[in-house]
Amino acid sequence: MYQLVRVTVAALLIAQHEIGSAAESAGDIYPSKPIRFLVGFPPGGGNDTLARMVGQKLSEQIGKPVVIDNRPGAGGNLAAQLTASAPPDGHTILMISSSHPIQGLLKKGLPYDPIADFSGVAQLVVYRSVLVTHPGVQAGSVRDLIALMKSRPGQINFVSSGNGSGSHLAGELFKSAAHVDMTHVPYKGTAQAITDLIGGRVQLMFAPVQPVIPHVQAGKLRALGVTSRNRSRIMPEVPSISEAGLPAYEFVGWYGILAPAHTPKPRLQKLNAEVVKILSLPDMTEKLHAEDMDIVRAPPEQLDGVGKADLAKWTRIVRETGIKAE
């Protein structure tokens, strides 16, 4: 009798453990609800467009809605703050660009740490810009432009899509590498900046490749060099800035996806695997290459490493130039 009761109790304990394990596994199904995909800029920009491309296909693959949540404000910092304070369960993610890791260098009193408060999901693409001038600028090459700037310190204006933007940082890096002085004129977007550049109200810009190609072909702008070490696949006739007279120069931007810090690693890995699948789809490859973007397929840890490396690089440059995003 004693042995029978003992066996029965053991069987009950085993059964309870199996039920508990099954319940635990069921509760750990991921994703278990819609994923909120935060974008720190209005609809229509580069961050938003790429988020929507990825988000739609991610929803199809995981069988759950992926809701694009545009929260423009403070140069993307509002959306970043919302992500940093969200539950670290993998149901909130953030689209970022290469300016994200250095926001703490550019803005005082940032309410989050751009590195410590996030975990990488996936780096998506890297992209180059192109140095374009108004045709009235008396410089037919990068070397000519540097010589002109040195003869007229502070008198040449470069326009950007905003303080702390990629076009701003590319220009500051050029100043540092070439040891020249030019004046930054920030705008609130790429379109208006390009319009005023064509109109001759400013002299040059480090612009995204795709929007300026028609203006270069029409003779309204002059392309002197691309910011990456490799030439552009859609403007192959334009040399890199490094081969055109400034060997130390290289600036490439990138886009990536972050989650709140302490998001479970298995969930980061699942998201990463789904994103890598998306980036390998033929239609995605075609669209991204048409935008002159180079696709990245790498584990989550790579994005964490890229962010830390960029922070170290720009800490030095910010100290040298004193640039701010305010």
Each domain of the chain, given as residue ranges in start order, spans: 35-126+252-321, 128-226
CATH class of the domain defined by 35-126+252-321: alpha beta
How far is it, in rounded angstroms, from Cα 133 to Cα 93? 37
Q: Distances in Å between the alpha carbon of 78 and those of 96, 108, 185, 240?
A: 12, 14, 24, 35
Fold identical between 35-126+252-321 and 128-226?
yes
- On the question of pLDDT at 15 being above 50, the answer is no
- pLDDT tens digits, one per residue of 184-207: 999 877 888 999 999 999 999 999
**CATH architecture for segment(s) 128-226:** 3-Layer(aba) Sandwich (3.40)
Residue 101's pLDDT band, with cuts at 50, 70 and 90, is very high
C-beta separation of 172 from 184 below 8 A: yes
- pLDDT tens digits, one per residue of 21-37: 333 344 578 999 999 99
C-beta separation of 300 from 269 below 8 A: yes
Greatest mean pLDDT among 78-92, 149-163, 174-188 lies in 78-92
C-beta separation of 304 from 119 below 8 A: yes
pLDDT at 74: 80
Share of the chain above pLDDT 90, in %: 72
- On the question of pLDDT at 18 being above 60, the answer is no
Residue 325's pLDDT band, with cuts at 50, 70 and 90, is low
Q: What is the residue-averaged pLDDT of the chain?
A: 88
Residue 324's pLDDT band, with cuts at 50, 70 and 90, is low
pLDDT at 1: 38
How far is it, in rounded angstroms, from Cα 244 to Cα 260? 42
Render the burial of 44-67: b for 16+ CB within 10 Å, e for the rest. ebbbbbbbbbbbebbbeeeebebe
pLDDT at 25: 42
Residue 73's pLDDT band, with cuts at 50, 70 and 90, is confident
Share of the chain above pLDDT 70, in %: 91
Least confident of 121-125, 161-165, 245-249, 301-305: 161-165
How far is it, in rounded angstroms, from Cα 112 to Cα 74? 13
Question: Which among 247, 227, 84 has a CA at the least distance from the CA of 158?
Answer: 227
Task: Find tokens 């040059």 and name the residue.
Answer: 204
Task: Find tokens 């751009």 and name the residue.
Answer: 114
